[in-house]
Amino acid sequence: MAELSPQKLILATESTYKIELLERLGLSFEACAAHIDETRLPGEAPAAMAARLALQKARRVAADHPNAFVLGADQVIALDQTIFQKPGSVEGAVDQLMRLQGKTHRLITAIALRTPSGAELASEVAFEMVMRPLTEQRARAYVETDQPLFCAGSYRIEAGGIRLFEAARGDDFTAIIGLPLTRVWSLLEQTGYLETL
């Protein structure tokens, strides 16, 4: 009986954080940026937005690589129905932290896997992030140290941002960084991808 050759796995991102996370699983894969419009739709709930964008990223890359398994991911930070984007500046980051300080917000990470047959599977992980009360001085000192200018919510929890929190409640801490590895492995198992290794 001929051995199965592993099929290509592509991570639809250019994020170094997501790439480093997926490397932990010991799988061979490529990374390819998925350039899509990430504008929120009118009335769209935060979890629905994360799920839609993860699937759009997987579909976009799969269009150029139809014979590959393509994994898309997206993360949304929401306080009630307000979604926080990447601040892009020190002042924007300080403003975001002051809006989040002393409150509990949701960090929603969605993934979508598109197979060569066109099947699509999805999953999501939501964390409750309990931020400590902060003064503007402390918020500014954190931003100057960690420079989270391209992180939605203006914190890097995998770095010094952990100091900003009293608690993080969820079931897969890798989701906080951007890619829930337990869910990724489950989707790969469900599609039969792991049987080709």
pLDDT in tens, 106-162: 999 999 999 999 999 999 999 999 999 999 999 999 999 999 999 999 999 888 999
pLDDT at residue 1, as a whole number: 36
Choice among 37, 64, 74, 146 that is catalytic? 74
Residue 89 lies in a domain: yes
pLDDT at residue 4, as a whole number: 45
Chain position carrying tokens 């994360």:
50
Residue 4 lies in a domain: no
Q: How many domains does the chain have?
A: 1
pLDDT at residue 2, as a whole number: 40
Residue 149 lies in a domain: yes
Q: How many CB atoms lie within 10 A of CB 2?
A: 4
CB of 56 within 8 A of CB of 13? no
Per the document, the length of the chain is 197
Residue 116 lies in a domain: yes
| Identity of the residue numbered 15 | S
CA proximity to 80, closest of 45, 53, 127, 52: 45
Examine the pLDDT at 174 and tell me if it is beyond 70.
yes
Residue 96 lies in a domain: yes
The mean predicted confidence, pLDDT, of the chain is 94
76-89 average pLDDT score: 94
State the residue range of the domain holding 52. 9-196
Residue 1 lies in a domain: no
Q: Please report, for the domain that includes residue 127, its CATH number.
A: 3.90.950.10
CA distance 137 to 140: 5
CA proximity to 46, closest of 92, 110, 98: 110
Residue 3 lies in a domain: no
Residue 2 lies in a domain: no
Chain position carrying tokens 């629905």:
48
Residue 37 designated active-site: no
Q: Which two tokens stand for residue 179?
A: 């890619």
Q: Which two tokens stand for residue 155?
A: 């914190």
Query: What is the DSSP secondary structure assignment for residue 66, as one 8-state letter?
Result: T
